[in-house]
């Protein structure tokens, strides 16, 4: 495919604004505003407006949080994994996948703010954070993973931004934005090597971080001594479900992309859907395996509380949610996906519908995973279940709309297909542009990124080291025991520090790239 065509497709949403865009934008904006009003209600009247109660104290918000954290896997998986394995088909959809990660993170972090009872005190979790708490691990690892993902999205975009700006394809504010963001990229050999170095180290580092990240999110539940949560399979289950939902949402996104952007179907062909469909099917089977591991071992073991939780899941109050998930996300796809995938002519629309259903099912999965173990109590309290109220449902809808809205804005502002990788076919031969040395200017952006990342790293390390050294309220005689729980944070600390080193390394490469003309 010619470079000009790829550029056309890549920036067509940026330069052309269709009525469809306005309609979508306004509808999504209205839904987000409605969700915001629902949140205002909750802020004024307290958490009483939700369906939560003393037993089931976590509900839809945490489920949505975990769901969007899971979706953020798509950028890493498709982009980083396919880049490392040099799977060429992945290059065209890599950018679209990374943008999913970028949008999902914002929504996931917002869910925490919506969920906690005192959002005005959120900084207390950093000022007085305790290393023993799974929530503190989460804060560290979410920060790290988010920064790494955003830098990764940005670095892979630099040559495209430079190309589009220098060819004069965009005008006005966007052109200025591209100029600043393209940090003097002219495609010299040194720049290409440095860019590839930065991308490679980030891609290699992102994959273990992602696995650690999803496991650590699962530990918020799995570390507590609750039947239904307290299982070792929780971490692998979360990682698998993350891959599964990431594949499903990516299929949905690229289907919409091919339908709405002119000429995109020339770039994203049946083969992309087919390969993603294979991955979807494999992760579906993996998730079935996880669920069987969980349910069968606990049932056979026959521990009273575990069986109670499973009974409420399989036959009790939670049966509609559980079986809804089973049919939509596991049994249905396991039966229908092979029929779709192993035919000569792939039904792309069928795959799209399946993906949407899988996403709905996976939300139900997260919901029962969070709420159902809480409705079973050790002591004989009156049984209460959990039904989301209007406020929670409108915030759920608003979260999905907000995700789509952020995605829409990203597509509208940045090139949506990775031009330099799609055209050069991965040989590093990135478009050289004739440019006079005088046009280059000193750009403070890369240095800013480097300094900020160093500051973040120092603060993070300071917090970790300080917490390890200073005990907080440990009564005499219980020092050893209470301090031991801090050791649980060691794997987290190791992952976070290694990831930050590679982030700083990439930021350093950016500085070197921008200095080429000086």
- Closest separation in Å from C-beta 499 to another protein: 21
| Residues 33-52 interacting with another protein (rule: CB under 8 A) | 45-48, 52
Do 421 and 94 touch, CB atoms closer than 8 A? yes
Among 474, 479, 490, 501, binds another protein (CB under 8 A): 474
Q: Is 117 in the site for another protein (CB under 8 A)?
A: yes
- Residue 382 interacts with another protein (CB under 8 A): yes or no: yes
Minimum distance of another protein from residue 462's CB (angstroms): 17
Q: Does 224 bind another protein (CB under 8 A)?
A: yes
Q: Of 331 and 384, which CB lies nearer to another protein in the complex structure?
A: 384
| Contact predicate 351/277, CB 8 Å | yes
- Tell which one of 54, 176, 232, 349 touches another protein (CB under 8 A): 54
Beta strands in 3-162 (DSSP E): none
Closest to another protein by CB, 276 vs 374, is 374
Q: Does 388 bind another protein (CB under 8 A)?
A: no
Task: Note whether 100 and 246 are within 8 A (CB).
Answer: yes
Q: Which is nearer to another protein, 17 or 387 (CB)?
A: 387
**Which segments of 128-188 does DSSP mark as H helices, in order?**
134-155, 158-166, 172-181
Angstrom distance (rounded) from CA 330 to CA 285? 8
**With left for phi above 0 and alpha for psi between -120 and 50, is residue 263 left, alpha or beta?**
left
CB nearer another protein, residue 173 or residue 470: 470
Q: What's the closest the beta carbon of residue 226 comes to another protein, in angstroms? A: 7
State which residue, 324 or 388, has the beta carbon closest to another protein: 388
Q: Which of 225, 427, 434, 480 lies at the binding interface for another protein (CB under 8 A)?
A: 225
Pick the closer one to another protein by CB: 133 or 265. Answer: 133
Q: Is 86 in the site for another protein (CB under 8 A)?
A: no
> If binding is defined by CB under 8 A, does position 475 make contact with another protein?
yes
When asked if residue 412 is in the footprint of another protein (CB under 8 A), the reply is no
**Smallest separation (angstroms) from another protein to the CB of 58:** 6
**Do 163 and 419 form a contact (C-beta atoms < 8 A)?**
yes
State which residue, 127 or 173, has the beta carbon closest to another protein: 127
Smallest gap from residue 308 Cβ to another protein (A): 14
Nearest to 373, CA basis, from 494, 475, 228? 228
Q: Is 487 in the site for another protein (CB under 8 A)?
A: no
CA distance 261 to 264: 6
- The answer to whether 407 and 103 have CB atoms below 8 angstroms apart is yes
Q: How many residues bind another protein (CB under 8 A)?
A: 51
Contact window for another protein (CB under 8 A) among 219-227, 267-275, 278-286, 309-317: 219-227
115 binds another protein (CB under 8 A): yes
Q: Does 216 bind another protein (CB under 8 A)?
A: no
Cα 324 to Cα 365: distance, rounded to the nearest angstrom: 9
Return the SS3 of 7: helix
User: In the complex, what is the shortest distance from the CB of residue 134 to another protein, in angstroms, rounded to a whole number?
Assistant: 6
Contacting another protein (CB under 8 A), which of 173, 469, 480, 481?
Answer: 481
Contact positions with another protein (CB under 8 A) in 122-151? 122, 124-125, 128-130, 132-136, 139
Min dist. Cβ of residue 483 to another protein (A): 12
Nearer to another protein, 168 or 380 (CB): 380
109 with 292: CB under 8 angstroms?
no
Kindly state whether residue 478 participates in binding another protein, applying the rule CB under 8 A. Answer: yes
Span interacting with another protein, options 176-184, 248-256, 445-453, 471-479, rule CB under 8 A? 471-479
Helix pair angle (490-514, 445-469), 10° resolution: 160
164: burial class by Cβ within 10 Å (0-12, 13-18, 19+)? Answer: buried
Q: Which of 295, 139, 294, 283 is nearest to 217 (CA)?
A: 139
Among 378, 390, 429, 501, interactor with another protein by CB under 8 A? 378
The yes or no reply on residue 220 touching another protein (CB under 8 A) is yes
State which of positions 346-375 bind another protein (CB under 8 A).
374
Instruction: Give the CA count within 13 Å in the CB-facing half-sphere of 395.
Output: 31
**Residue 435 has what DSSP assignment?**
-
**116 binds another protein per the rule CB under 8 A:** yes
Radius of gyration for the alpha carbons in the chain, expressed in angstroms and rounded = 24
Q: Among 121-129, 325-333, 416-424, 494-502, which window interacts with another protein (CB under 8 A)?
A: 121-129
Output the smallest distance, CB 202 to another protein, in A: 29
What whole-number distance in Å separates Cα of residue 511 and Cα of residue 502?
14
Rule CB under 8 A: is residue 392 a binding residue for another protein? no
Extract the runs of DSSP E, i.e. beta strands, from 175-251: none
58 is a site residue for another protein (CB under 8 A): yes
- Residue 396's alpha-carbon distances to 59, 72, 89, 99, 213, in angstroms, are 11, 17, 34, 21, 23
Give, in order, the Cα–Cα distances in Å from 222 to each of 219, 247, 297.
4, 25, 16
Q: Cα-Cα-Cα-Cα dihedral of 142, 148, 151, 156, to 10°?
A: -130
CB 433 within 8 A of CB 163: yes
Binding site for another protein (CB under 8 A): 45-48, 52-55, 57-58, 115-118, 121-122, 124-125, 128-130, 132-136, 139, 220-221, 223-226, 374, 377-382, 384, 472-478, 481-482, 485
């Amino acid at each position: 495919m010619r470079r000009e065509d790829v550029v056309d497709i890549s920036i067509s949403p940026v330069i052309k604004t269709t009525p469809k865009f306005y309609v979508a934008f306004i509808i999504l904006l209205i839904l987000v505003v409605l969700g915001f009003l629902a949140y205002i209600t909750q802020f004024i009247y307290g958490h009483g407006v939700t369906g939560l109660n003393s037993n089931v104290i976590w509900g839809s918000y945490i489920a949505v949080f975990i769901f969007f954290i899971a979706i953020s896997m798509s950028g890493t998986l498709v982009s980083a994994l396919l880049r490392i394995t040099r799977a060429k088909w992945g290059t065209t959809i890599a950018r679209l996948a990374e943008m999913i990660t970028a949008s999902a993170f914002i929504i996931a972090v917002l869910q925490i703010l919506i969920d906690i009872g005192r959002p005005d005190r959120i900084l207390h979790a950093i000022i007085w954070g305790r290393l023993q708490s799974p929530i503190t691990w989460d804060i560290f690892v979410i920060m790290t993973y988010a920064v790494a993902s955003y830098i990764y999205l940005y670095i892979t975009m630099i040559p495209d931004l430079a190309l589009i700006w220098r060819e004069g394809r965009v005008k006005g504010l966007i052109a200025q934005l591209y100029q600043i963001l393209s940090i003097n990229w002219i495609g010299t050999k040194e720049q290409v090597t440095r860019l590839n170095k930065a991308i490679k180290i980030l891609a290699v580092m992102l994959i273990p971080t992602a696995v650690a990240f999803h496991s650590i999110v699962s530990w918020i539940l799995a570390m507590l001594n609750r039947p239904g949560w307290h299982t070792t399979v929780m971490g692998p289950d979360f990682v698998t479900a993350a891959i599964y939902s990431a594949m499903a949402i990516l299929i949905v996104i690229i289907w919409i992309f091919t339908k709405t952007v002119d000429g995109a179907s020339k770039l994203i062909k049946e083969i992309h859907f087919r390969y993603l469909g294979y991955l979807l099917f494999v992760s579906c089977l993996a998730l079935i395996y996880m669920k069987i591991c969980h349910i069968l071992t606990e049932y056979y073991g026959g521990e009273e509380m575990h069986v109670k939780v499973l009974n409420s899941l399989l036959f009790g109050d939670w049966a509609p949610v559980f079986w809804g998930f089973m049919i939509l996300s596991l049994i249905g796809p396991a039966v229908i996906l092979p029929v779709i995938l192993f035919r000569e002519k792939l039904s792309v629309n069928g795959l799209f519908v399946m993906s949407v259903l899988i996403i709905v099912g996976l939300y139900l999965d997260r919901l029962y995973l969070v709420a159902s173990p809480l409705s079973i109590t050790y002591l004989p309290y009156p049984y209460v279940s959990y039904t989301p109220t209007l406020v929670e449902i409108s915030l759920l809808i608003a979260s999905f709309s907000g995700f789509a809205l952020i995605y829409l804005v990203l597509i509208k502002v940045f090139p949506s297909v990775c031009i330099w990788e799609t055209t050069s076919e991965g040989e590093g031969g990135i478009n050289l542009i004739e440019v006079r040395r005088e046009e280059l200017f000193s750009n403070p952006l890369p240095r800013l990124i480097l300094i900020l990342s160093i500051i973040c790293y120092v603060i993070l390390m300071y917090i970790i080291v300080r917490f390890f050294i200073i005990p907080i309220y440990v009564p005499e005689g219980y020092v050893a025991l209470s301090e031991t729980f801090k050791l649980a944070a060691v794997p987290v600390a190791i992952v976070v520090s290694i990831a930050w080193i590679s982030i700083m390394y990439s930021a350093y490469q950016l500085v070197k790239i921008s200095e080429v003309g000086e």
